[in-house]
A and B are shown apart, each in its own frame.
Chain A
Amino acid sequence: MSPEIGELVAALPDGFDEEKAPDEALQTLLSSLANKPVPVGRLTRFWALGSLKAKIALAYMAWWLRSGYVSGDKRAATLNETHLKSAIKLLGTMSYLRGSIMKIGQTLANYPDVVPDEFVDTLSALHFEAPPMHFSLLREQVRNELGRDPEEIFDEFETKAFAAASLGQVHRARLKTGQEVAVKIQYPNIARTIRDDFKNFNALLLPMRLTKDWDNFRAQGEDIFETLELETDYVNEAECLKAAREAFNEDDGVVVPEVFEEFSSGRVLTMEFIEGKHVDEFMATNPPQEVRDRHGHQIFMAISRLYYGLKIVYADPHPGNFYFMEDGRLGLIDFGCCYRFTDETWKYCANVERASHGPIDSEAMDAALLYSVDLTDEAQMGEERLGLLRDYCTWMWEPMQEDAPFDFGDPEYLRRGMQLYGDMIRKRYTRSQPINTWLARSFVGARAMAYRLRAKFNLKAILDTETSVK
C-alpha cells in the first residue's frame, strides 16, 4: 500500500526552502542530507544518501525532472515549479531505498542527454560499495527463495559479500559438485519498494502533463521504470545470461557465466564464478598493446554479437561488468540491464545501420535522427538541434568509416564526444525515443571502456563480420 501524497510531502526532510528556485532548493536539500543523522520514522528506512553516489543520483534525477518542462511555456513552467519541488523533496525521502536510488542514479547517469564531463568516472563511482545485509538476514532470504539454507545448498558459502550489487550483494560459494560460483542476492522487498516509489513519483509529476513534451517525457520515465522492474527480476537476467552464453563459441574468447537454475530464483542468482581483473587492476599490470587491443576487440565484438545475433542491447557496459581473464579471455557479466528490440525499434535501427555503414549517407542519417527524437519534420526540430545531433552521430560513426584499426585511446576523440553531450545538456534537448537511452548507454559505455584500455582495433571489420553472421 502506498501512502497518500499528502503524507509523503508532510514527512519530507527539513531544510527544503519552498521559496527558492528548484536548482537552488536542490543544493540546499543535498547539503542538508549530507549532515542528517539516521532518522527513525515511518517513511525512512536505510539512510544511504550521505554518500556521494546518492547525491549524484539525486542531481541527475532533478536535472531530468527539470528538463521535462523547460520547453513548456512560462506560465506552465511556474505552475510546475511547485510540483517539481515536491518531486525533489520526495526524492529526499526515497533515500531509504538503499539500492534503488543507486539504480536510478546509474540509469540516469547513462542517460544520453545527461552527461557531464566526468562521465566515465561517474559511471565507476556509482558502483562498488559494501552493502549492509548481514548473513542471518541473507540466509532467511535464501531460504525464502530456494527453500533451504545456504549451508545446506552449498558445499561452502562465504558469509561476507565480495561485491555489492545495486539491489543486493554478491557472495562467493562452491557447489557440491565443486563448481565455484557467485551468488547474487537481492535485499528483501526492494522490488516492491521501487514500484511504490514510482507510483508516488508519477502522481507528483502528473500536473506536468500539460507541457509540450509530456508524452515523450512520460514515455522515457516509464521506460526507465520498466527497466528497473526487469532488473529486479533475476529470472529475466538468468534467461538473458543463458541466451548470451550460447551466442559465443570457444574461438570468440568471450565467457558469459553459466547460470545454475536449480539454485536461482527471482531474487537469487547463482552463476559460474568468473576469475579476472577489472579494468583498473588490469591496466595497473601494464599490459602490452596487443593484449589491450584484443580485449577492446572482444568487447565490441561481444556487444555487436548480442546486438545483431540476439537483438539485445547490452545496455550497462560499466567497468564492473568486464573481467579481463588470465588466459586472455573476456568475462562478460551482468545481464540485468538488457534491452530487447521490438520489431519497430529494430526497423528503426536498421535505418541507422544503412546510414552508418560505409561513407555516411546524410539523408538516411537525418531520417533516423527525426525518428529518434519522435518528430516528423525537420522544421519542428530546428536547424541548431539537427546540427548538433548530426555532429553527435558523425562522432559515433567515425570509428567505422575506414577498414582499419581505430585508436579508441585517443583522448581527443573521447573529449569531442563528451563535448557534444555537454552541448546537448545545455540546450536541454531531451526529447527522445526510449531506445536511444539504451543505445547510447551501450555504445558510449563501450567507447569509454575502449578508451580506458587505450585500445586500437578495426571496428568496421567487426561490424562487417557480425552483420553477415546474423
Chain B
Amino acid sequence: MRITAKAKEETRERITESARKLFTDKGFDETTTRDIASEAGIATGTLFNYYPSKEALAMSLVAASLDAGRLDFEARRRGDESLEEDLISHIMTGLRRLQPHRGYVGAVMETAMSPFAKTGLCDDADRTREEHLERVTDLTASHGLGGAPPFVVMHLYWTLYLGVLAFWSRDASDKQEETLAVLDHSLRLFVASLKTGHTKVEVNHVT
C-alpha cells in the first residue's frame, strides 16, 4: 500500500507531538523511542523511518522552536537597533521558544550541533545552523561591517552561541538571568572582534 504524502506528514506530526509530551512529562533521558512510538500508536520500526534517533527527533523539535523564534525576532525588530541589540534579540527570541526544551537541549546540541558534529548527521541541525549563521551574516552586513565575516569570526560566534545555550540549559539562577549577563558579554566580545577585524583573546592561566 502506498502512503500518501499527507498521511506521512500526519504521522510525522503525531510522532513529534508524542515526543514533545513525553520529553516534558517524563524527561528526555527517561523517554525511550519505544515509549514515543507507542504514544503515537505506531510500531517502533516505523518511527525509525521518520527519525534515525531520539536525538534527531529532539533536534527537530528544537529546530521548530528556533524557526518560531526567528519569526518573533523579525516581528519585534524596529530597524534602528545596533548590531549588539540585533544579535541579542536574535538569540533571546530563540531561547524563549526553546524554554520547554531547556532540560535536554544540551544533549541535543552536543550530538547534533557542536562544531565537532559531523554535518549530514541530522538535516534539521544542519539547516538550523546554516539559517542562524546566514541571518547573523546579514545582520553584520546590514550594520556596515562589510561582506561575510571571515570564517574564524563566524566560528567564534558559533562557539559562543553554543556556549550560551549550554550555559542556559544549566543556569540555576532565577529566570536564568545569569544567561542574559553571559550573553551580553559574549556578544560584546564578538562585535568587538568584528570591528577590530581580528580576534585577540587574552588567555587566563588558571592554576
Which A residues lie at the B interface, using CB under 8 A? 6-7, 10-11, 39-43, 45-46, 134-137, 139-141, 143-145, 149, 187-190, 192-193, 267
Q: Are B189 and A40 in contact (CB under 8 A)?
A: yes
Contact of A134 among B84, B92, B178, B204 (CB under 8 A): B84
Q: Does B175 contact A (CB under 8 A)?
A: yes
Provide 27 A-B residue pairs closer than 8 Å at the C-beta atoms, listed in order of the A residue.
A10-B205, A11-B204, A11-B206, A39-B202, A40-B189, A40-B201, A41-B202, A42-B204, A134-B82, A134-B84, A134-B85, A135-B81, A136-B92, A137-B85, A137-B180, A139-B89, A140-B88, A141-B177, A141-B180, A143-B96, A144-B176, A149-B76, A188-B177, A189-B178, A189-B180, A190-B181, A193-B181
CB-CB under 8 A from A46, the residues of chain B are 185
Q: Are A10 and B207 in contact (CB under 8 A)?
A: yes
Total B residues in contact with A, Cβ cutoff 8 Å? 28
| A6, A40, A139 — most chain B CB neighbours (10 Å) | A40
Q: Are A136 and B177 in contact (CB under 8 A)?
A: no
Contact with A along B183-207 (1 / 0, CB 8 A): 0110001000000000011111111
Find residues 68-123 in chain B having any chain A CB closer than 8 Å to their own CB. Answer: 76, 81-82, 84-86, 88-89, 92, 96
CB-CB under 8 A from B4, the residues of chain A are none
CB-CB under 8 A from B76, the residues of chain A are 149
Q: Are B206 and A7 in contact (CB under 8 A)?
A: yes
Find residues 141-175 in chain B having any chain A CB closer than 8 Å to their own CB. Answer: 173, 175
Main secondary structure of the interface of B (DSSP, over half): helix
Q: Are A192 and B204 in contact (CB under 8 A)?
A: no
Q: How far is the CA of A6 from the CA of B205 in the complex (A)?
A: 12
- Count of A-B contacts judged by CB separation below 8 Å: 70
Q: Are A136 and B180 in contact (CB under 8 A)?
A: no
CB-CB under 8 A from A135, the residues of chain B are 81, 85
Q: Shortest CB–CB separation between residue B125 and chain A, in angstroms? A: 25
**Nearest residue, chain B, Cβ from A151:** B76
Q: Shortest CB–CB separation between residue B75 and chain A, in angstroms? A: 11
Q: How far is the CA of A45 from the CA of B189 in the complex (A)?
A: 10
**Nearest residue, chain A, Cβ from B185:** A45
CB-CB under 8 A from A39, the residues of chain B are 202
Q: How far is the CA of A346 from the CA of B122 in the complex (A)?
A: 69
Q: Shortest CB–CB separation between residue B140 and chain A, in angstroms? A: 16
Q: Are A189 and B204 in contact (CB under 8 A)?
A: no
Asked, given contacts A40-B189, A188-B177, A192-B178, whether A137 binds B184 with beta carbons under 8 Å apart, the answer is yes
Contact of A136 among B88, B178, B201 (CB under 8 A): B88
Q: How far is the CA of A41 from the CA of B201 in the complex (A)?
A: 8
**Nearest residue, chain A, Cβ from B184:** A137
Contact of A189 among B85, B173, B189 (CB under 8 A): B173
A41-B202, A42-B206 given; 18 more Cβ-contact pairs under 8 Å: A7-B206, A11-B204, A39-B202, A41-B204, A46-B185, A134-B82, A134-B84, A135-B81, A137-B88, A140-B88, A140-B89, A144-B175, A188-B180, A188-B181, A188-B184, A190-B181, A192-B173, A192-B177
